[in-house]
Structure 1
Amino acid sequence: MAKRSFGNTRELPSGRWQARYRGPDGQLRSAPQTFAKKRDAERWLTLKEAEIVRGEWINPEEAKITVKEWGERWLSSVSPSLKPKTRASYGSLLRTLIEPRFGKSEVGQVRPIMVNEWVASLIKRGLSPSRVRQAYRLMSQIMTAAVNNELIKSSPCRGVRLPRMPETEPHILTREEVERLVAAMRAPHGLLVQLLAYGGLRIGEAFALRRRHVELDQGRLIVAASLAEIAGRHVFDTPKSHQRREIALPGFVVAAVRSHLGGLADDPDTLLFTGKTGKPLHYNAWRRWHFDPAVMAAGLEDVTPHDLRATHATWVADRHGVMAAARRLGHANASVTTRHYARAVEGRDREIAEGLDADYGTENGPRGHLAHTWHDEDDEDPPALLVDA
């Protein structure tokens, strides 16, 4: 037996060599495999010793926890900071997509190729790109937490090609189209559409409005809650990103809200919109019985409640800028507004071109001024910065 201060190697009756070392916790451990030659066993010990010196040693016993056990432990630890709907979504993904493939595997046994194969299998099953990406992101979060807790050295969720999300453009309505849709709906559902189109509310925020959220004298709404459905149950929570905001409404919408409040109870907790039984609205039922039939009656196609929010964002961004639209929608980052909601209003590009054309002929127009500068300096070509711009 060859002895070392850190560990030792010994020849087994089979003729192969075993490497053993004492970890930082004082426990004597053997290499997970034996070696054909002594120098191979010693090389393994050298690498393991360097790993310990660098502080990169991982206790192999801790990595034996299964993905199911670790995933459930992780989800339990982050649940208090998650919205109920997100928490339920994570739990569903874990149970239905992650655990069937990795549940019994030890965290330390999962390799990148296994994750790649799993993603490929989800795609072959016909799951939507969105669902596949959600499942992968959750798996990645679970494995990153394993790295952060020193169960494994690196996450196996890397180098995976995810399916592309289909490019979908929101249907941006004109003012006239919105009014046709409002007119096609029975009261008070037309008011709901107005709040989406002229207030930019999310549908869950509109469903959660109560009397105390309406400040008629100031002509505004307080968006402080949102209604979600989890397994058919209603759950009231804060708005997305926990952003409470105030929204000023146009006068004609304030008048419609005032009229609607006249028929409701004075209790501050009274919901503005309910079903026939007085309970909160169910989104799918509202779509089926109210919104979708009104879309058809108004002569429109492929319009969703979410399109009304995108319509509002586009109107506001076009007239008042993206930052104003982001504030109205409750976005902390204006890039979210431009990426998912605001779109160029039809005809604006032609207006821009016509404006530039008009500037071209003016005495101090930008293009004439730059051309004069180039000739004065006898440059053969315009400056590189101007060309790049």
Structure 2
Amino acid sequence: MVARVEDRWLSKKKDANGKRIRKSTYGVGARWMALWDDTDGVARSKKFATQEQAQAHLDHVTADKMTGNYVNGRAADRFITDLLDEWLATTVHWKASTRNAAESDVRAHLRPYWGDCTAGAVRKRDVQAWVSGMKLAPRTVASIHGRFLSFLTWCVDEKILAQNPASKVNLPQGLSREHVFLSVKQVTALVKEMDELYRVLVWLLATCGLRIGEAAELRVKDLQLDRGRIRIERAVVFVKGGPPVVGPPKNGKARTVSIAPFMVGMLGDLIEHKRPNDLVFTTVRGCQIRPNNFKRRQFDDAVAAVNKAAKAARARGTKNPVTIPTSMWVHDLRHTAASLLVQSGASVKAVQRQLGHATASITLDTYAGLFDQDLDDLAVRLQRIVHPQLPAAA
């Protein structure tokens, strides 16, 4: 078919009076129709109120075909449940943990809600209604929406859709959780209440800044105790209902972290009779530690025990006994390590390397408040340079 604009109301033929003959569709619907062929040869059409609008659309279609931006209308008629499978098949570059999480979201949220829809039928208002109707935590909603957004971005890249209907959707706003930074006294009290099997683990998390998934996958061969170093090359993730997934650390890069001399001794005693490929930390049964189970069965109980002891101490007249926020997460031990590193005088770059952040800017964004002392020191140094005759603190 030659692309063209057609008058739906009047024929090119004329009657005896020289007037154009009315078609059977005269006065029904929009008058002008743009006609063209899809890239697979299937005829397509769209109606418009004016001839100018129809021609403009046809010009746009022609330009898109020439530049490779044309979206095949038949592709948009495909069901999302089938497209989701094709999308997942392209994600071979993802870490195993990311893939498992994506498959879980597809199975639990995307396929049940969107599976029977065609890609072209999805509208922004539909996505907004879906997001607004989720009775989940804001961060969870954002994660699920992000997964659907990625899928639809793939649809746009594959010329299935012209634009992404999930973009710029309003997401629920949750209160950002403040980091918890423990003092050395608080860490000591927490360790005291932990099962002896996990005491070294808590000290390691609180002073070296490992993620719990990195510590759970730590092997004897990763320890370089003679150098005071640990090599972090792997992390384990446990997906609900699935086996543990071992992959690279969060940012995809291995790193070497420094450990204090007192940790060298603790770790040396812990691995004394272990082989190179043995796990450094295990459960009572010798299994790999599951972070959720560790928090629920060990960590939370230890926090409660510290606070219970503090309550009893206050009853005996002790002032300001050591307590720990009940809202504390295991991950807050990593934040504690960052705090202790900054207090020790470590630079932003050193903290970044120790924690395994991709960039120093991430470290600053995450722990900006910890470096306030640097700003105070900067002000003092500037005062001494500009007005050396005046006191440093005016």
Q: TM-score, normalised by structure 1?
A: 0.81
The runs of 5 or more residues in structure 1 that have no matched partner are 369-389
Q: 1:356 to 1:83 in 2, by over 3 A?
A: same
Equivalent position of 1:287 in the other structure:
295
Superposition pairs of residues 211-226 of structure 1, within 5 angstroms: 211-226=220-235
What CA distance in whole angstroms lies between the structure 2 residues aligned with 1:217 and 1:100? 54
The reply on whether 1:316 has 2:341 as its aligned counterpart is: yes
Q: Which moved more, 1:224-233 or 1:131-140?
A: 224-233
Could you list the runs of 5+ residues in structure 2 that have no partner in the other structure?
10-22, 308-323
* Aligned counterparts of 1:351 and 1:4: Cα–Cα separation in 2: 74
Structure-2 change in CA distance of 1:65 and 1:350 (3 Å): closer
Name the CA distance, whole Å, in 1 between partners of 2:136 and 2:219: 38
Taking a change above 3 Å as real, the CA distance of residues 30 and 213 of structure 1, as seen in their structure-2 partners, is: closer
> What is the identity, as a one-letter code, of the residue corresponding to 2:190?
L
Partner of 2:286: 278
- 1:117 counterpart residue number: 129
Q: Find 1:298's aligned residue among 295, 299, 306.
A: 306
Instruction: Give the one of 180, 192, 195 matched to 1:186.
Output: 195
User: For 1:251, which of 244, 261, 276 is the aligned residue?
Assistant: 261
The answer to whether the 8 Å contact 1:234/1:280 transfers is no
- Answer yes or no: is the 8 Å Cα contact 1:316–1:322 preserved in 2: no
Superposed displacement of residue 86, structure 1: 1.8
Structure 1 residue corresponding to 2:358, chosen from 332, 353, 358 = 332
Which deviates more, 41-50 or 296-305?
A: 41-50
Identify which of structures 1 and 2 has the higher relative contact order when contacts are C-alpha pairs closer than 8 Å and 6+ apart: 2
In 2: Cα distance, 1:6 partner to 1:28 partner: 15
Seen in structure 2, the aligned counterparts of structure 1 residues 97 and 221 have a Cα distance that, compared at 3 Å, is same
Q: Does 1:51 align with 2:61?
A: yes
Q: Which residue of 277, 284, 309 corresponds with 1:269? A: 277
- Indicate the RMSD between aligned Cα atoms, in angstroms: 3.1
Please, which moves more after superposition, 181-190 or 143-152? 181-190
Say if 2:244 is the partner of 1:234.
Answer: yes
Alignment equivalent of 1:163, drawn from 165, 168, 172: 172
8 Å CA contact retained: 2:8, 2:25: no
**What do residues 177-230 of structure 1 show as CA deviations (whole Å, max 9, x unaligned)?**
112222222323110011101111000111111110111211111111112112
For residue 105 of structure 2, give the secondary structure of its aligned residue in structure 1. helix
Please name the residue that 1:129 is paired with.
138
1:215, 1:13 → 2: CA distance?
A: 87
Describe the superposition over 1:249-278 as per-residue Cα deviations: whole angstroms up to 9, x where unpaired.
11011011111112x33x211111112222
CA separation of 1:199/1:26 partners in 2, compared to 1, >3 Å: closer, same or farther?
Answer: closer
Amino acid aligned to 1:61: R
Letter matched to residue 225 of structure 2: L
Which whole-Å CA distance do the structure 1 matches of 2:362 and 2:202 have between them?
23
Instruction: Tell me how many residue pairs correspond in the alignment.
Output: 355
Query: Deviations for 1:147-200, whole angstroms, at most 9, x for unmatched residues?
Result: 111112111123321111312111101111112222222323110011101111
1:172 is the counterpart of 2:196: no
2-side partners of 1:356 and 1:224: how far apart?
41
Q: Is residue 96–residue 246 contact of structure 2 (8 Å, CA) maintained in 1?
A: no
Bigger mean CA deviation after superposition, 101-110 or 11-20:
11-20
**Aligned: 1:103 with 2:128:** no
**Cα pair 1:317 1:323 within 8 Å, conserved:** no
Alpha-carbon separation, structure 2, partners of 1:99 and 1:196:
38
Q: CA deviation at 1:26?
A: 6.8
Secondary structure, in 3 states, of the residue corresponding to 2:370?
A: coil
Q: Measured at CA, do residues 210 and 28 of structure 1 come closer, stay the same or move farther in structure 2, by a change above 3 Å?
A: closer
